[in-house]
Amino acid sequence: MRFPPPLLRLVVPLGALASVALAQESSLTAVTRHSDPRGRPLWEVGLAGIGGYVADYPGASQSRFRGFPVPYFIYRGKVWRAGDGGIVRGRFQINDRLEFDLSFSGSLNAESDKNTLRRGLPDLDFLAEIGPQLTWRAWEEKERSVTVNLPLRAAVSIGGGGVGSQGFVLNPRLTYRERAFIGGTTLSLSFGPVFATERLMDYFYEVRPQYALPGRPAYNAESGYLGTEVALGVSRVLSPRVRLFTGAQLGVFSGATNRGSALLAREINWNFAFGLAWAIWESDRRAKE
């Protein structure tokens, strides 16, 4: 991971990824604390160390280790929230089981000169995703739950070329969560397909004629099925203010719309993430979940 001089390319990726990594609904982690019988604090400010071994992009043939420390802020209001499931969002209850809010996701940048298949192509900038989400609490029993999330997100690239629209992502997801798994450990398991518009598919898999090489022919990507994500996350409270989180994500690209692109080199990607979060300050007032 690179940290170029422009401040935007440093602050935005780290801030967004910290929110995603520390969110309760994160696909890679389930970083929640239930050791306090009064519930979670209304707000908390802390520091997290996050590291992982991740693919350069979906279906890439190369992966690399990336890590960084980053501060975080979480506010758990009844309607407005920050950091807990997104950067800033409004959570609107439709009924006891349906909820409407915002969904966030993102991916790190990739330098093409460090990726054999992409050598000579434009770099991939940091990608931020934001959009509306409908959540259905399909089943709840004590410390276990099953939820269905239906998010539609706009993708925006942020980097050397400025800020640019990269289309839309539809990522329905089924999540099972158990908050009392093996001595108080929180377990989260989720899976779901990913569909994307042509602009995002072009961003990852298009090869324009001027970039064509032997073994990397010109290719015009199409909208459709990008792949399926399966994620496992585990978190554990080490002390009242410190928790450990780790997770793995499997990307399956068999049958993907753009399997014909030389850039979609693998049918399976493995991503791993881990870290520690330290809540330095928190409110005495508890959140009304």
User: What is the DSSP code string of 246-273?
Assistant: EEEEEEE-TT-TTTTSTT---SEEEEEE
- In contact, 106 and 127? CB cutoff 8 Å: yes
| pLDDT for position 145 | 96
Whether 64 shows a pLDDT value over 60: the answer reads yes
Q: What is the pLDDT of residues 82-105, one digit of tens each?
A: 765 545 556 678 888 999 988 888
Confidence of residue 217 (pLDDT cuts 50, 70, 90): very high
- Residue 138 has which token pair? 């399909």
Mean pLDDT of 106-113: 90
**CATH number for the segment(s) 7-282:** 2.40.160.40
Q: CA 231, CA 234: separation in Å to the nearest integer? A: 10
**Average pLDDT score, the chain:** 84
Q: How confident is the model at residue 40 (pLDDT cuts 50, 70, 90)?
A: confident
Distance CA 149, CA 129 (A): 15
**In angstroms, rounded to a whole number, what is the distance separating the alpha carbons of residues 7 and 284?**
34
Average pLDDT over residues 205-222: 97
pLDDT band at 106 (very low <50, low <70, confident <90, very high): confident
What is the value of pTM for the model shown? 0.84
Q: Tokens standing for 175?
A: 């999540």
